[in-house]
Chain A
Amino acid sequence: MSFIPGQPVTAVVQRIEICKLRQCDNLILGFSIGGGIDQDPGQNPFSEDKTDKGIYVTRVSKGGPAEAAGLMIGDKIMQVNGWDMTMVTHDQARKRLTKKNEDVVRLLVTRKSLEDAVRNAMV
């Protein structure tokens, strides 16, 4: 999932809709993110290309809304509610996901198995 500067990024994505859960005055989604353009991409265990500075799902809590919606660990988040997530800082990503006035977040995530499935289907 590396990018070539100047060329549009193409990926096979899955739409995931997560309803936020209200838990004592907090709206939580039930997963953790890692990555960002201000972080060290070499330490990301989920990325295939170690220069990829995108936002990755590092943990999905059991029984949470994210797991129920089908989010899997290691997914790369491409868009959140229409906002791009491939070139954001870690803090910007966190803010996009935790807006207090939104109850539902619609994510576009990609993972390796999606690409493989599409390729196998085309053969």
Chain B
Amino acid sequence: SDDEDLLQNEDIPELEMGFANIIVVDNLPVVPPEKYEKLENVLRKIYGQLGVIREGGLWMPTDPETKKTQGYCFIEFNTPQEAEFAMEKTRGYKLDKSHIFAVNMFDDFEKYMKVPDEWAPAEIKPYTPGENLLKWLTDDKARDQFVIRAGTFTEVYWNDARRAMPELVYQKQYWTDSYIQWSPLGTHLATVHRQGAQVWGGDDKFVRLMRFLHPQLKLIDFSPGEKYLITYSSHEPSNPIDTHRVVLNIFDVRTGKVMREFKGSADDFTTGGNMGVSGVSWPIFRWGGGRDDKYFARLGKNVISVYDTETFALIDKKSLKVENVVDFSWSPTDPIISLFVPELGGGNQPARMSLVQIPGKEEIRQKNLFSVSDCKMYWQNNGEYLAVQVDRYTKTKKSIYTGFELFRIKERDIPIEVFELDNKNDKIIAFAWEPKGHRFAVIHGDGPKPDISFYTMKAVNNNVSRVSKLTTLKGKQANALFWSPAGRFIVLAGMRGFNGQLEFFNVDELETMATGEHFMATDIMWDPTGRYLATAVTSVHEMENGFQIWSFNGKQIYKVLKDQFYQFQWRPRPPSLLTPEKEEDISKNLKRYSKKYEQEDQDVHHLLDEEERKRRTRLQEVWEAWVAKWKQLHEDEGAFRMQLRGGEDSDKEEEAEYKEIEAEELVDVTEETVAFDLDQE
């Protein structure tokens, strides 16, 4: 299997041999036996703080003749990570003026001794042409792909909506050890294994393109332009009261080279955000500056550390200092960071929202906010708008009301517009910008059926753009918003408690196109073109696992049941190569283009009908053959059956004769003497 290849071919630190947790400390003072214990205690004191020294793990060899120490010692820890940590921390440690520690891993000695004395020039391998990584985009039926994981299989399919079925491209059992993920532009499929990550791609065969070694890998993240892959693992400390150790590597995807690695305790990496898997909010490093993959940053204590990908070092060699910063996010397209600092000193220092330009680190816009209890930032996907949802306490501190600060990023001076819902006490359940558009949708309300309001940023009022409401839909069974990636259409979904209600809404016309339901749906995803919607029930639920494909206007196209269903992911597409002008030209002349495709659709339709008809006739014929055979056998046994029934020929399906019989039943006889008054007439 591929996993075994990985183990044999790479130089993996030999974790199984037991020497990886030993360090050699050199340049120790040479001491006579009397001072031996004192030196040992000093060493224990230094190294005991960095890790747990194994029982009997400190050995200072002595010269058998002079009985003095030789000037170096071996220290064995419980884990290789502790050993490496100790080595890094004590390298160059000044015990005194003439004794500066030289610390190395025990295994390194062997490695360096193996370096040959003669330099041999590197072998030049013959050129092998690479795979066509973009093959899937050339499908003549313009279909999209998706990958699913069910049971132990991972399978890639074409979404063939014309034939109302998925067409298998490639499948493999045990392709991944935990989960899979497409790269952001769809070029690679990444799989996660115990030894690291692998990426696959090419045409229909999905060959392995690169391996990334990272033992005990847990999570991965691609940069938006697919140039880099960040991998993460968390390791248990040998001392249970210590925090986990965290290792992050940044690989160049094409070459597989490690560009930078980060190591530290989990505490260093868990500032801010919600505690996610492994106690850390993933991704830890967030990419900025759009698809150029120029910058990545992470949140630290009172700092935001921003690195650039030229040097893989901090910009200006230092982090951006922001006291008490709680959260930040990048603009999806420009190198701008928005950050939030909460209120301090019981209201003495107000909360602050700020936009910082990278790499210069200038603050290009900022606003103080008062009485803030919480703050959330939502960027529109073209980087044109930023909405900051600010929850505030009322004066009595008993209830919360919400307002929005809307930043128009692309306009001069970045104007900020303050905006509140009609009922500002309404709780905000969901907020979403229209992709590539100027509208946003909000689900708000306190009751069991909240309202949904739509707004546009482009209403003009006295030559100034103002936000304005388009409509409010009252009393909807929805708690999540899913805009089509092309904008214009949105699915209002009721998940969890609403059990999978779907409403397909046209935001241009402001009317509902269709409603549907996928009972207990856990995931809702648009395809990258915005033509189709996938809804799925994953193995979070025990029954009815599988997925459904809908058209953008709410027509159910097909449904697939798959037990133990774990993942569904559309294959992303790279951005269109057409210029905006060409796109407009096609929209205008749509009729001309559609004629050609309509004819194709008709042809396929007829073919399908014909195939279906043939299939059904075939099934019918096979069945009739069975029935004829059974009839024959049944008749043959007829006599035998009659015998079993004691001569009764009761096989005949004669109609039972229903005769209506009138039965008279004497119920009761009583004699009653009636007094007859002869006077009355």
A, B in one complex: no
Question: What is A's interface to B at a CB cutoff of 8 Å?
Answer: none
